[in-house]
A and B are shown apart, each in its own frame.
Chain A
């Protein structure tokens, strides 16, 4: 049974659109939730959210943690072709448990 579920699995948008990626989790001892961007091979870190830091923003990207709903969203505004990637959500439960990712394609 998957402990971290991401939706949608894939998404195709046009440049300039705003997208919202979802991540829900079910772990026993939640410590943190992390978002990564994977363009080719190496996932790169975007945000980490904890009980004491439930909202993060960096440029056009922002993320919110909903502790009550056990979920998080990643928002990307004014998308660009360079945002095309797989976005991974991971929850720390002793180790990082990853969702299957959302593949985002931004067309010109």
Chain B
């Protein structure tokens, strides 16, 4: 069974630009969560989607948004990039009602 796939693996953007990250969950997993990881803050929860609906949202500004498609694939978008958005963005999928998350390898975003 294929794992969680995130694309792209690396991304370099400049301030003010926007970016879209993609995540394909494990087949059969309908819940997708996104986390931002930085050296100083660890993993911080962005949002969770289930059946195309956002179920939970973390404390991030409105510049961070996401969506989930009918095939459970998910995208997250960051608009008006800031230097502080440089981080590893991790996507994780799980079966409904299960706490155990399976993570992808992440997208390393650098904002210059």
Interface residues on A, range: 20 to 34
The answer on a CB contact under 8 Å between B100 and A45 is yes
Q: How distant is the Cα of A100 from the Cα of B35 in the complex, in angstroms?
A: 13
User: Majority SS of interface residues in chain A?
Assistant: strand
* A100, B56: Cβ atoms closer than 8 Å: no
Chain B interface, >50% SS class? strand
Given A41-B106, A88-B43, A100-B41, do A94 and B56 touch, yes or no (CB 8 Å)? Answer: yes
Collect the chain A residues with CB atoms within 8 Å of residue B81's CB: none
Pick from A42, A48, A94: contact of B90, CB below 8 A: A42
User: Are A99 and B100 touching (Cβ within 8 A)?
Assistant: no
Name A residues whose Cβ lies closer than 8 Å to a Cβ of B: 31-32, 34, 36, 40-45, 48, 88, 90, 92, 94-101
- 5 closest cross-chain pairs (CB), A and B: A100-B42, A98-B43, A41-B105, A42-B103, A42-B105
